[in-house]
Homo-oligomer: A and B are copies of this chain.
């Protein structure tokens, strides 16, 4: 007998028929002798509908009130789900963030969970009741509703699993698990049976959309196993767990890509101490995250600085950097958005030299020029021209033998 936290995403509860399907699945798990806590997202489309409503009031709606609005999405699904359980004679009870409570800080629309009191849920479980918890939402010390940001229901599920001491946190989604790369552009992509938290974190940061980053961080910190699996199949999915010996034998676990990249180059920057700080200070003040930075020394005291930002921040960053460039006496600012980032990820890289150079060689063989490079202990990322993205992903997937299960 296990205690499972099962989280179902928006596509899994998109309408009342699907809610009933998920209900049947949860009841089956419970009747097999397990205790189950269910965490639900808003019905697919509902979050966008609510955002559109808010935007029709104000292009930048008040964050506190936006949270009050957004939180209704999950409130609808948990009440419908609990009703659906009772229809089958199975006791269930919906729990909103404040009713548990899931305590967060007060940073509306991007709140962080600070504490969960699991007593109310434990009492319900003891009484044989299935707790049905609203994902994505919490309550701050003033009693205001907060939300955790996009994908926050994953974090809710993992945090609940940790606080309840669950055996596993199951994340149900519309794919079979975590894949070696995006099956949509690489038909040979293979489901990964087991992957380490660190690799999963890198993949999430590098563009894989299957799990929200904070939920993986949370699981890693408390060693909570995550099982990513399909709502509509009973097949085993991907276990996200602590690194073990077997994982190190795989040099490259996955290939990821992101087209959400833009590049800005500042030419002929006077190379003086403090220049980088003056250049990036205003960007950081505007809450724009800079990903890669490269500095090329040129003749004399002049240098070229190139960096990447998310496409959504590109225009804002460009306008800020043009002002700064004048101030510091740089010659010219250039930018483009026709770039992409492809990455390889694997804990096996740590103990094996030559993985990065193999990656460069594979790209070279396919005539793909590398514009920027960044590495960490377990990943190598290359910025390339956007049009080569799919080619690069397929080439790397094949070049590292991912379709055969070893890198």
A interface residues (Cβ-Cβ under 8 A, vs B): 16, 19-20, 50, 53-54, 56-58, 61-62, 64-66, 68-69, 71-72, 75-76, 78-80, 82-84, 86-87, 93-94, 96, 98-99, 143-145
- State the number of copies, please: 2
Q: When chains A and B are docked, how far (Å) is the Cα of A53 from the Cα of B18?
A: 13
Contacts of A58 in B (CB 8 A): 83-84, 86-87
Most buried by B among A16, A61, A65: A65
Q: When chains A and B are docked, how far (Å) is the Cα of A143 from the Cα of B95?
A: 10
Most buried by B among A62, A68, A87, A144: A68
Q: Given that A65-B94, A93-B64 are known contacts, is A57 also in contact with B80, CB under 8 Å in the complex?
A: yes
**Which of B66, B75, B93, B99 contacts A83, CB < 8 Å?**
B66
Min CB distance A55 to B, Å, is: 9
**Which of B69, B78, B79, B99 contacts A75, CB < 8 Å?**
B69
Q: When chains A and B are docked, how far (Å) is the Cα of A82 from the Cα of B161?
A: 35
Q: Is A99 a contact of B143 with CB atoms below 8 Å?
A: yes
Q: Give the residue name and chain of the B residue nearest to A68 (CB).
A: B79
Q: When chains A and B are docked, how far (Å) is the Cα of A71 from the Cα of B99?
A: 15
Contacts of A53 in B (CB 8 A): 16, 76, 80
Q: Give the residue name and chain of the B residue nearest to A52 (CB).
A: B16
Contacts of A56 in B (CB 8 A): 16
Contacts of A69 in B (CB 8 A): 75-76, 79-80, 83
Q: List 22 A-B contacts (CB under 8 A).
A: A54-B83, A57-B83, A57-B84, A58-B83, A58-B84, A61-B83, A62-B83, A62-B86, A64-B94, A65-B80, A65-B94, A68-B78, A68-B79, A68-B82, A68-B94, A68-B96, A69-B76, A69-B80, A69-B83, A96-B145, A98-B98, A99-B143
Contacts of A75 in B (CB 8 A): 68-69, 71-72, 75
Q: Chain A: interface secondary structure?
A: helix
Min CB distance A41 to B, Å, is: 15
Q: When chains A and B are docked, how far (Å) is the Cα of A363 from the Cα of B233?
A: 71
Q: Give the residue name and chain of the B residue nearest to A71 (CB).
A: B75
**Which of B16, B57, B64, B93 contacts A16, CB < 8 Å?**
B57
Q: When chains A and B are docked, how far (Å) is the Cα of A223 from the Cα of B86?
A: 43
Q: When chains A and B are docked, how far (Å) is the Cα of A307 from the Cα of B206?
A: 74
Q: When chains A and B are docked, how far (Å) is the Cα of A189 from the Cα of B291?
A: 71
Q: When chains A and B are docked, how far (Å) is the Cα of A385 from the Cα of B102?
A: 59
Contacts of A145 in B (CB 8 A): 96
Q: Given that A16-B57, A19-B57, A94-B65 are known contacts, is A76 also in contact with B83, CB under 8 Å in the complex?
A: no
Q: When chains A and B are docked, how far (Å) is the Cα of A84 from the Cα of B62?
A: 9
Q: A20-B57, A66-B79 are in contact. List 10 more A-B contacts (CB 8 A).
A: A19-B57, A53-B76, A58-B87, A62-B83, A64-B93, A64-B94, A65-B83, A68-B78, A68-B82, A69-B76
Contacts of A20 in B (CB 8 A): 57
Q: When chains A and B are docked, how far (Å) is the Cα of A99 from the Cα of B101?
A: 14
Contacts of A16 in B (CB 8 A): 53, 56-57
Min CB distance A175 to B, Å, is: 27
Q: Give the residue name and chain of the B residue nearest to A93 (CB).
A: B64
Min CB distance A27 to B, Å, is: 14
Q: Give the residue name and chain of the B residue nearest to A120 (CB).
A: B143
Q: Give the residue name and chain of the B residue nearest to A91 (CB).
A: B62
Contacts of A143 in B (CB 8 A): 98-99
Q: When chains A and B are docked, how far (Å) is the Cα of A87 from the Cα of B59?
A: 9
Q: When chains A and B are docked, how far (Å) is the Cα of A68 from the Cα of B137?
A: 15
Q: When chains A and B are docked, how far (Å) is the Cα of A61 from the Cα of B16?
A: 13
Contacts of A93 in B (CB 8 A): 64
Q: Give the residue name and chain of the B residue nearest to A134 (CB).
A: B68
Q: When chains A and B are docked, how far (Å) is the Cα of A383 from the Cα of B343?
A: 81
Q: Is B76 a contact of A50 with CB atoms below 8 Å?
A: yes
Q: When chains A and B are docked, how far (Å) is the Cα of A79 from the Cα of B54?
A: 9
Contacts of A99 in B (CB 8 A): 143-144
